[in-house]
């Protein structure tokens, strides 16, 4: 398989900041573009991204981009914008107004990267704005909805972008410990994409490569080990780059992107409704808006395809129980794809997906109220090998 090195610049949680970005092929922004999702905030961010020269720019929203969660904003927007309500449709249209930007709202799209030799890389990128509900913020989900939500990520995704981290992977919070989503971690075990980009937990910034264990037929969602990278010069201006391409040899990512039965994966994606082709602290609402309490932000039960809601309903307390949305009894078991008790959909023909690079790209390093002043991380640059195709008029070099 012929590959080319692709440079991916990752950032998240910019909260109205517009930092200078390194050059690269793909830009990924993993949410919290703004503080409170106003049209003027979003316009500032879109103008900033529009001036960059990446071949592809992928963005998702986060819990602070409240106007882009229409059912949430219909019910709770007045708590944030009681003096001037925004138009959610206008805000979402703004995100879709720049043809250079791929806006993903819990969906997968295929993007094309053209290389200088005439070849191209076709990458399937899934992006989602959701994070576990905590306080009165947008795009929150309860524990009983997590399984159905993340099971909608197609197995042949090359890159997964979520605002929330997965459990135990770049999710360590000073006040809450490991605050990522376990169901997302389990889904990453099944998908095993080359790259997962997230944010949300500012202090968990950094890079790691998790090695998945798919050899054991009786242990669910097992991992073999983790390689970690932190910014070697956080106080300096040197670019934070992690080279996982073949050029790096010893650190090259072990993931050939094998997809097994592509036909069944496409059919599965379609059945899930997927298209195939410093801020206010979480849990608080500004007192200036006349609201001092904290309410649980639990969405109504999802109506497939997620997240299409007819209207928002008043949140109800979470029981923590899983609903009757169930997967086959063999779900999550490793071992050879031919093994009768393995998760054959996730394993068979996909054994080459061994590692996933996980990036928490939170640009904002501090949390509200930023008592010692705002501090910032650097954008993170990841070099990865991606497969290439040659149109009829081109040939391999």
What burial class does residue 1 get, using C-beta atoms within 10 Å of its C-beta: 0-12 exposed, 13-18 middle, 19+ buried?
exposed
How many other C-beta atoms lie within 10 A of the C-beta of residue 151? 17
Q: Please determine, for residue 162, whether its predicted confidence score (pLDDT) is greater than 90.
A: yes
Task: State the pLDDT at residue 331.
Answer: 55
Give the 3-state DSSP-derived string for 222-259, with helices as H, strands as E and coil as C. EEEEEEEECCCCCCCCCCEEEECCHHHHHHCCCECCCC
pLDDT digits 0-9 by tens, 250-269? 899 999 999 875 434 444 34
pLDDT confidence of 29, banded at 50, 70, 90? very high
- The C-alpha atoms of residue 189 and residue 193 are separated, in whole angstroms, by 9
The whole model's pTM is what? 0.83
Q: What is the pLDDT of residue 308?
A: 34
Confidence of residue 101 (pLDDT cuts 50, 70, 90): very high
Q: Which of 71, 74, 90, 86 is nearest to 36 (CA)?
A: 86
Do the beta carbons of residue 309 and residue 145 sit within 8 Å?
no
Mean pLDDT of all residues in 150-165: 96
Asked if the model's pLDDT at residue 3 lies above 50, the reply is yes
**Which pLDDT score, from 0 to 100, does residue 273 have?**
39
Q: What is the pLDDT of residue 261?
A: 55
Q: Please tell me the chain's helix, strand, coil percentages from 3-state DSSP, rounded to the nearest 5.
A: 20, 25, 55
| pLDDT tens string 329-374 | 555 577 766 666 678 888 888 999 999 999 999 999 888 777 778 8
- Phi and psi of 18, rounded to 5°? -130, 70
pLDDT band (50, 70, 90) for residue 107:
very high
From CA 363, how far away is CA 170, in angstroms rounded?
14
**Domains in the chain with CATH codes:** 3-387 (3.60.21.10)
Whether the CB-CB separation of 285 and 266 falls below 8 Å is answered with: no
What is the mean predicted confidence (pLDDT) over 123-132?
Answer: 96
Worst-scoring range by mean pLDDT, 47-56, 113-122, 266-275, 366-375? 266-275
Where is 381: in which H helix or E strand? strand 380-387
Backbone phi and psi for residue 50, each to the nearest 5 degrees, phi listed first: -65, -25
For residue 384, what pLDDT band results from cuts at 50, 70 and 90? very high
pLDDT band of 40, cuts 50, 70, 90: very high
**Segment 83-105 mean pLDDT:** 94
Reply yes or no on whether the pLDDT at 315 is more than 90.
Answer: no
- Of the CA atoms within 13 Å of residue 99, those in its CB half-sphere come to 0
Under DSSP, the state recorded for 39 is H
> What pLDDT is stored for residue 336 in this prediction?
64
Phi-psi region of 275 (alpha: psi -120 to 50; beta: other; left: phi over 0): beta
User: Looking at the predicted structure, is the pLDDT value of residue 280 above 70?
Assistant: no
Q: Which of 62-76, 233-247, 253-267, 286-300 has the lowest mean pLDDT?
A: 286-300
């Amino acid at each position: 398989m012929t590959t080319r090195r692709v440079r991916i610049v990752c950032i998240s949680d910019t909260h109205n900041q517009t930092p200078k970005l390194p050059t690269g092929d793909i830009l990924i922004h993993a949410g919290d573009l703004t503080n409170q999702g106003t049209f003027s905030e979003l316009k500032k961010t879109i103008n900033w991204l529009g001036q960059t020269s990446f071949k592809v720019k992928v963005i998702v929203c986060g819990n602070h981009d409240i106007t882009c969660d229409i059912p949430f904003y219909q019910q709770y927007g007045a708590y944030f914008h009681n003096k001037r309500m925004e138009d959610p449709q206008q805000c979402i249209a703004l995100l879709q107004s720049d043809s250079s930007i791929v806006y993903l709202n819990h969906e997968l799209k295929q993007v094309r990267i053209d290389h200088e030799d005439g070849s191209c890389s076709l990458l399937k990128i899934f992006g989602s704005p959701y994070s576990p509900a905590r306080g009165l913020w947008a795009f929150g989900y309860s524990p009983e909805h997590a399984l159905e939500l993340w099971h909608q990520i197609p197995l042949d995704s090359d890159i997964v972008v979520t605002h929330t981290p997965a459990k135990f992977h770049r999710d360590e919070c000073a006040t809450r410990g490991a605050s990522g989503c376990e169901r997302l971690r389990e889904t990453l075990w099944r998908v095993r994409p080359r790259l997962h980009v997230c944010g949300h937990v500012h202090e968990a910034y950094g890079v790691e490569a998790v090695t998945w264990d798919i050899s054991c037929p009786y242990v669910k969602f097992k991992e073999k080990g983790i390689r970690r990278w932190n910014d070697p010069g956080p106080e300096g201006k040197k670019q934070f780059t992690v080279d996982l391409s073949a050029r790096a040899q010893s650190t090259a990512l072990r993931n050939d992107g094998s997809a097994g039965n592509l036909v069944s994966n496409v059919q599965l994606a379609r059945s899930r409704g997927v298209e195939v082709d410093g801020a206010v602290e979480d849990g608080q609402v500004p007192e200036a808006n006349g609201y001092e309490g904290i309410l649980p932000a639990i969405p109504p039960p999802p109506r497939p395809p997620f997240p299409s809601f007819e209207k928002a309903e008043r949140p109800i307390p979470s029981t923590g129980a899983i609903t009757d949305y169930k997967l086959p009894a063999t779900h999550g078991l490793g071992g050879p794809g031919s093994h009768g008790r393995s998760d054959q959909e996730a394993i068979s023909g996909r054994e080459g997906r061994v590692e996933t690079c996980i990036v928490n790209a939170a640009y904002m390093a501090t949390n509200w109220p930023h008592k010692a002043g705002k501090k910032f991380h650097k954008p993170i640059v990841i070099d990865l090998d991606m497969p290439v195709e040659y149109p009829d008029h081109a040939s391999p070099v």
